[in-house]
Amino acid sequence: MPSPNYVSDISQLRITDAEEAGGKGANMGEMVAANLPVPPGFVLLRDCYLASIQAGGVADELNAAHRTALSSDPAGLAEMCERMQALVWRAGVADDVRDAVLTAYRKLGSDAVVAVRSSATGEDGADASFAGMNATFTNISGEQELIEAVQRCWASLFSPRVVSYRASRKFSADPAMAVVVQLMIASERSGVAFTADPSTGAEDRVVVEGAFGLGEVVVSGAVEPDTYIVAKDTGEILSRRRGYKSFKIIRGADGNDQKVDLSEAEADSQVLSDEEVGEIVALALATERHNGCPQDTEWAIADGKAWLVQARPITTLHHATMSTPESHEVVARGLPAAPGEASGAVRVLLTPDEGSGLLDGEVLVAQMTNPDWLPTMRRAAALVTDTGGMTCHAAIVARELGVPCIVGARTATTDLADGMIVTVDGTHGRVLTGRTSATGGAQTTPVEAQPATAAVVSEATGTKIYVNLAMPDSAERVAAQDVDGVGLLRAEFILTDALRNRHPRDLIARGEQDTLVDALAAAVGRIAAAFAPRPVVYRATDFRTNEFRGLAGGQAYEPVEHNPMIGYRGCYRYVKEPDVFALELTALARVREQNPNLHLMIPFVRTKWELEECLSLVDASPLGRQRGLHRWVMAEVPSVVHWLPEYVGMGIDGVSIGSNDLTQLMLGVDRDSDICAELFDESDAAVLDAIGRIISTARRLGITSSLCGQAPSTKPAFAEHLVRMGITSVSVNPDAAVRARRTVAAAERRLLLEAARAGDSNHSR
């Protein structure tokens, strides 16, 4: 019997491995795939943890204790966590796991100096960051020290701050931990780079923060870093803010981290040259292009070379417009780390252990941001700290909690006194005396509480603004925004999450197909209910074979293709595997019994005959017999330009243009290729012509037309082109919906003005 696959080289991992390698490990693999400078290393997959607690005889007791801890009161949580961590240590590391880990470690060199980072399941995802909560250990050297660091990572799954955060995000599954091991970079300078402004949500700029020595002083908020705001399109440095960096952390002669105090001149000196800022921005943007969404990256410079040591999606981007002060005095200023406005009495606390002294609705003022403050932050109206940057871990968590936050205020703990009534303006980085008119008698008005306020709902558009969704966890929050429905509900992430990364055929082979139906119906039902009565268009599963092979049991069922992007996928696959497709249709039929706003979209349709076969499967299923079901096709393959009239004649009443794949196939360029990146252009005349013909055919035949992609929100000319062609809707990621509506509205106004002028001109004749 083959031994379990406990360890994987980072270079072999991709984002589809996130369930086994955690978000951090999978994201590192994606950076290697993008040919970015990443320190070599390996990942202990989550099975290392699972096998060890099982072999140690503590798995059942540990998971039961965790379920109890999720609902524990704060007073009992610490004791529960100590008990769970003790169980992890008691279990130790299973012998076969230890052997696999040490074999991989020896390949890095004799007693190599490594960083050991937690990579828990659920970390670094689209809407949950676990920022800095699980443990990271630097400058680890030697086999025994490595094994102990791994155990400490596992034990950090059950710290009070992590369990509290998990409870706040309603994560109830038994936790597991992968661990990333990488060669240490002897950082002379380090920091973070966000490819969108985390304080305002602006995606046209990059925020770079840096300090001397190891990067933990930046991400922990221990010092006030230098901050650079850089324009994405031109690379111009729009602003510089030099922070006061009182110390740095380096690797000492004994191999341990060493704190080194800096002189006044050093503490106030600039960390990066303009050229180095540009290099870091280029690396961060390459990560964003590869992953397709704004990124939170960590970088390090050693011996003149810049390295990327971490990347993850930015979990929250707010687009806020807050009130301005009236007659209120500004008593403190800092960096705007989490937007929103809140009023309350000040409570100055020195350590997280003093958290019980904070009353609900008070403003927490502390010297340093740290994720250990999480249980206290959840009860605070706002947070103000002396140190830290707007990309530090606790600032990220504050944004997820919707708690207005200001960091780097320098002297807030001495300038603000217990009992003072203040208003924290997290959008502009100011603390004002008294309560502003914006908060009035209320304690707080965070941005999260007003997703569809007058600041957002500014104008109606004839073109519908839909959103793309991939997971149910964010359904209620996104549904509260000013959006008209879901234009693209991706099945792939829902399935892998609900089925714990198992291949559908593996479930069928074990007689567990009902598990697939139940899990899919529950997840899709939650989204459909949140958006009702607005439409939700579900795109049937469109994994490529290489992605399907990565699922548990997938290698037994999936062929190896040289070019899976244009291989066995989409509509053709449903025709060839009707039994798997039938399970998906059964789940959707169950959802539509309660939520008839759910509709079906067939992806990657190449020919008339395969769509005809596919629709016959739909019609014969319980879903096809339900009234009011809309049947959409994705327009990704250029053949749709020719076949669309035939598709409409077969009962298709909606077409959604997948602009990424359509551009790729029209121009013959891999959209993921950095080498050919300049060739990939959704605005190319050939692509626009195909899009125009699809939309005009849809208009002529009276069916709905849409486009799924970010171009309508980032390229005003592209949006105007779609509006002029008469598209029915556009579907964008949730964080771009406000901007997309604004752009589309402007285009519609220009068309109305042109029509009015043309009418006046004709009348004058």
Residue 258, classified by CB atoms within 10 Å of its CB into exposed (0-12), middle (13-18) or buried (19+), is: middle
The angle formed by the CA atoms of residues 247, 251 and 253, to the nearest 5 degrees, is 115
* Active site (annotated) includes residue 642: no
- Report phi then psi at 290, rounded to 5: -70, -40
Residue 756, classified by CB atoms within 10 Å of its CB into exposed (0-12), middle (13-18) or buried (19+), is: exposed
Structure tokens of 68?
A: 């109890």
For β-strands 305-313 and 405-407, DSSP reports them as unpaired
Cα(295)–Cα(315) distance, integer angstroms: 9
DSSP 48-91: HHHHHHHHTT-HHHHHHHHHHHTT--HHHHHHHHHHHHHHHHHH
- Report phi then psi at 300, rounded to 5: -150, 145
How many CA within 13 A on the CB side of residue 730? 34
Q: Which of 66, 319, 393, 503 is catalytic?
A: 393
Closest-CA residue to 371 (of 412, 410, 405): 405
Q: Which of 392, 571, 614, 708 is catalytic?
A: 708
For β-strands 340-348 and 363-366, DSSP reports them as parallel
Cα(409)–Cα(200) distance, integer angstroms: 18
Structure tokens of 80?
A: 């529960």
Residue 263, classified by CB atoms within 10 Å of its CB into exposed (0-12), middle (13-18) or buried (19+), is: exposed
- The label of the residue with tokens 């002396």 reads 386
- The label of the residue with tokens 């558009």 reads 461
Structure tokens of 149?
A: 């660091």
Cα(644)–Cα(149) distance, integer angstroms: 58
Cα(363)–Cα(375) distance, integer angstroms: 14
Closest-CA residue to 390 (of 357, 341, 352, 428): 428
Residue 411, classified by CB atoms within 10 Å of its CB into exposed (0-12), middle (13-18) or buried (19+), is: exposed
Residue 254, classified by CB atoms within 10 Å of its CB into exposed (0-12), middle (13-18) or buried (19+), is: exposed
Closest-CA residue to 487 (of 438, 412, 539): 539
Cα(720)–Cα(745) distance, integer angstroms: 9
Residue 764, classified by CB atoms within 10 Å of its CB into exposed (0-12), middle (13-18) or buried (19+), is: exposed
Give me the sign of the Cα torsion angle 301, 307, 309, 310. Answer: positive
Cα(334)–Cα(743) distance, integer angstroms: 32
Residue 685, classified by CB atoms within 10 Å of its CB into exposed (0-12), middle (13-18) or buried (19+), is: exposed
Q: How far is CA 287 from CA 32, 281, 312, 388, in A?
A: 10, 10, 9, 24
Cα(523)–Cα(507) distance, integer angstroms: 18
* Active site (annotated) includes residue 503: no
Structural Rg of the chain based on CA atoms: 27
- Confirm if 274 and 280 have CB atoms less than 8 A apart: no
Query: Catalytic site residues?
Result: 393, 708
